[in-house]
Amino acid sequence: MTTGSRTVRDATLEMLRGLDLTTIFANPGSTEVGFLTDLPEDLDFVLALHEGSVVGMATGWAIARRRPALVQLHTTAGLGNAVGALATARVNRAPLVVLVGQQDRRHLAQEPFLAGRLEGLAGDYPVWVKQPERAQDVPAAIARAHHEASTHGGPALVIVPMDDWHQPAGDPAVHAAPRRVLRPAPAPAALDPALEEVAALVDGARSPALVAGAANDDEEGWAALVALAERLGCPVWQESFGARAGFPQDHALFAGHLPADRPRLRALLAPHDVVVAVGAPVFRQYQYHPGPLVEPATRTVVVSADAGEIGHSPADVAVHTPVAPFVAALAERVRRRPGSDEPRREVARPLPPEPGRPLAPGHVFAALAERAAADTIFVEETPSSRPEMHALLPARRPLGFLSAAMGGLGFALPAATGARMADPRRPVVAVVGDGSAMYQVQALWSAARYGAGVLFVVLSNGRYAIMDRLAEGQGGKPPWPAFDEVSVAEVARGLGCPARRITSYDDLITVLDEVVPTLTERTEPLVLDVEVTVGTTFAP
């Protein structure tokens, strides 16, 4: 193709191939048709039926592949619908390159129909936003977005007016952008001053402790933190509301999840005079309670590659650095201590219910724990039973647990779909409340359409149980009704996704014995709509 006939779309497609952005997650509109029509066969188009599902699937994909995913959204309506999911992607550190369609550049000044004021619509959640000054700058802007998304761990937006795609590409020598960006780790010597200070603080501690965060969730991070914990012989907690596991939760030194309120957090950490948070802020909370995070005698250290995370952590010492290399070096530098003599507390699995008695969430978790492979990715969105799931289904491999860091609902169904599509070698099980499932139930269509063999376990109690509990905690009655008449199984089947309704323990065991062994090879998703009680079998 000559330079004269080469379009911005042609140049962009070449750029996307070079960046390995060849799977497009989208719910298209008219401003994207010029780019998507006659898409080359080496690019895969993945349709979702709502923009929250689009971004949720791409988030799961990006996390599972550990590199950016490509998203396309439709001007104001599409970007607006996706903002909540983009916020989740940002807090989950999921690198996304997001193309947002815009009206024709030639009459934007008149604010025509479908023109959007897009640059600030998603607020501060994108790590970078750009509408190129010229059509010819679109490919370079996409390369820059890839760099920003990779560097900062979040969505980077490029706004593209619809007529840009068919404009001449211009001189590729002038308008090219780097195809690859290398990010070497800092030289060990650069870490020495910080390393010495933190090592001295830990060595001087009477009783150190560690906190693992979502940013430590990879093979290198787990290995480094295990080495440090075993050298110190100290307990390791997972950050509260952590979206991913930063430490093997079946390890003898794993102590559980930090509470998300200040009184219990202070009491739990009071025996420790130095607490080092690795890839987690100091310390994530939920409902506000007065008082400090820790007792005055407890000193805190945060180690993070996220400048923003460091900025809102009231720690005594902060180290802004790639986490795993620093922790590995710290493990070699600190003195070895005798291991704890206290045995790891085992959580008792609930006994099967008596014949005719209803299922509780714990029965489902225990049955899954007995059958699921160690490398299963569990995607969680069941707020009322999350503590019980943590206790009975510990993460045993990196990416063994995945949840929405932002807390908004509508994450699990699309994220599990995207994760399975990204890494079909690993089994994926989504555990979702029926209320949560309805926020992005459209993702089940995409799972079925694209052969994402996820097992979706929906815990159906016909209500927003977590909201009921919060209302009870306020001493009042909630005004919202139950929704017992909603059948997730019927909705799923209506979207083309196979589903079964489970009402007894025997039914549950029969289906899990049939399905769980197939999860590695499975290409057909399945929804298990499991009727459960509102209560719990869990005693912390």
Q: How far apart are CA 232 and CA 229, in angstroms?
A: 5
- What is the pLDDT, as a whole number, of residue 426? 95
Yes or no: say if 508 and 359 are a contact pair by the CB < 8 Å rule. Answer: yes
Q: Tokens standing for 54?
A: 């689009």
Torsion angles phi and psi, residue 507, rounded to 5: -60, -45
Give 391's strand partners: none
Of the pLDDT bands very low, low, confident and very high (cuts 50, 70, 90), residue 5 is confident
- What is the pLDDT, as a whole number, of residue 286? 80
Q: What is the mean pLDDT of the chain?
A: 88
**Strand 208-212, strand 155-161: pairing:** unpaired
As a whole number of Å, the end-to-end CA separation of the chain is 67
Q: How far apart are CA 214 and CA 395, in angstroms?
A: 12
Is the pLDDT reported for residue 402 higher than 60? yes
- What is the pLDDT, as a whole number, of residue 173? 42
Q: How far apart are CA 300 and CA 208, in angstroms?
A: 10
Q: For helices 361-371 and 505-515, what crossing angle results, to 10°?
A: 30
Q: How far apart are CA 62 and CA 70, in angstroms?
A: 9
- What is the pLDDT, as a whole number, of residue 176? 43
**Buried-state track 202-214, b at ≥16 Cβ within 10 A, e below 16:** beebeebbbbbbb
Order of strands across the sheet that contains 96-102? 44-47, 23-26, 69-73, 96-102, 155-161, 128-130
Closest CA to 56 of 411, 448, 409, 402: 411
- Read off the pLDDT of residues 107-137 as tens digits, 9 standing for 90 and up: 888 788 888 899 999 999 999 999 999 999 9
| SS3 category, 415 | helix
- Read off the pLDDT of residues 293-309 as tens digits, 9 standing for 90 and up: 899 999 999 999 887 78
- What is the pLDDT, as a whole number, of residue 366? 94
- What is the pLDDT, as a whole number, of residue 269? 95
Q: Tokens standing for 18?
A: 């070079």
Is the pLDDT reported for residue 535 higher than 70? no
- The proportion of the chain whose per-residue pLDDT surpasses 70, expressed as a percent, equals 92
Torsion angles phi and psi, residue 55, rounded to 5: -70, -35
Domain with CATH 3.40.50.970 in the chain: 8-175, 361-531
Domain with CATH 3.40.50.1220 in the chain: 188-333
Of the pLDDT bands very low, low, confident and very high (cuts 50, 70, 90), residue 340 is low
**Residue 251 per-residue DSSP state:** S
Greater model confidence, 204 or 478: 204
Is the pLDDT reported for residue 428 higher than 50? yes
CATH no. of 8-175: 3.40.50.970
Q: How far apart are CA 535 and CA 413, in angstroms?
A: 24
Q: Tokens standing for 58?
A: 């791409």
Would you state the torsion angle of the CA atoms of residues 213, 215, 216, 219, taken in this order, to the nearest 10 degrees?
140
Q: What is the pTM of this model?
A: 0.85
Give 97's strand partners: 70, 156
Greater model confidence, 442 or 111: 442
- Read off the pLDDT of residues 369-391 as tens digits, 9 standing for 90 and up: 999 999 999 999 998 888 899 99
Of the pLDDT bands very low, low, confident and very high (cuts 50, 70, 90), residue 509 is very high
Cβ atoms < 10 Å from Cβ of 391: 22
Homologous superfamily of the 361-531 domain (CATH)? Thiamin diphosphate (ThDP)-binding fold, Pyr/PP domains (3.40.50.970)
Is the pLDDT reported for residue 1 higher than 60? no
Least confident of 388-397, 458-467, 524-533: 458-467
Residues 6+ apart with CB under 8 A from 481: none
- What is the pLDDT, as a whole number, of residue 540? 39
- Read off the pLDDT of residues 156-215 as tens digits, 9 standing for 90 and up: 999 999 999 999 997 654 444 444 454 445 544 445 788 888 999 999 999 999 999 999
Q: What is the pLDDT averaged over residues 48-73?
A: 94
- Read off the pLDDT of residues 244-266 as tens digits, 9 standing for 90 and up: 999 999 999 999 999 988 999 99
Order of strands across the sheet that contains 377-381? 401-402, 377-381, 428-433, 455-460, 526-531, 499-502
Closest CA to 243 of 375, 393, 418, 63: 63
Q: How far apart are CA 45 and CA 252, in angstroms?
A: 45
| SS3 category, 334 | coil
**CATH architecture type of domain 188-333:** 3-Layer(aba) Sandwich (3.40)
- What is the pLDDT, as a whole number, of residue 127? 94
Cα–Cα distance list, 514 to 41, 172, 297, 521, 522 (Å): 36, 55, 54, 13, 12
